[in-house]
Amino acid sequence: MRPPASTPALALRDLSELTTDVRAAIVLGTDGSLLAAEPERGDLGERLRELTLAVLEGADAVRGEPPTEVEIATQAGAVYVVRGEGSALAVVAGRFTLSSLMRYDLRRMLADLGEGSG
């Protein structure tokens, strides 16, 4: 059994090893700051941060209370966002990703990073 990841960057690398269907992933801090991005390529992480915050803001407005998980599926792929007590993880994945498994993995990552939402 693998020990929990100690940093957001290591957690994202572990996630990339778990599934080859992850195209990009980020970890956001409690203040919405970008803590880690995978892959680290240009301004991709910052762009995903902005989009993730917009998705969460929209989901909050629709529900009236903050959901802990958001999933957006298209023909080309899916976006998964899971948040704990302030921090959030977002993943862009291929269309054949198992939704429940991806959300489970993201909840486990939050727990490993100290969010306790697992």
Residue 82 zone, left/alpha/beta (φ > 0; ψ -120 to 50; rest): beta
pLDDT cut 70: percent of the chain above it: 92
Question: pLDDT averaged over the chain?
Answer: 88
C-alpha 114, offset from chain centre: 15
Q: Domain for residue 117, yes or no?
A: no
Name the band, by pLDDT with cuts 50, 70 and 90, for residue 4.
low
Q: Domain for residue 60, yes or no?
A: yes
- Residue whose structure tokens are 């992480």: 45
Q: Domain for residue 13, yes or no?
A: yes
Q: Domain for residue 20, yes or no?
A: yes
- What CATH code is carried by the domain that includes residue 92? 3.30.450.30
Q: Of 6, 1, 15, 23, which Cα lies nearest the Cα of 113? A: 6
Q: Domain for residue 118, yes or no?
A: no
pLDDT at 11: 87
What's the rounded mean pLDDT across residues 26-33? 94
Considering its fold, how many domains does the chain have in total?
A: 1
Q: At 86, is the secondary structure helix, strand, or coil? A: coil
Q: Has residue 116 got a pLDDT over 60?
A: no
Please tell me the pTM assigned to this model.
0.87
Q: What is the pLDDT of residues 44-63, one digit of tens each?
A: 999 999 999 999 999 999 97
Q: What distance in Å separates the CA atoms of residue 75 and residue 97, rounded to the nearest whole number?
A: 12
Q: What distance in Å separates the CA atoms of residue 44 and residue 68, rounded to the nearest whole number?
A: 24
Residue span of the structural domain in which 26 resides = 8-112
Q: What is the pLDDT of residues 95-108, one digit of tens each?
A: 888 999 999 999 98
Q: Domain for residue 73, yes or no?
A: yes
Q: Domain for residue 1, yes or no?
A: no
Name the band, by pLDDT with cuts 50, 70 and 90, for residue 1.
very low
pLDDT at 106: 92
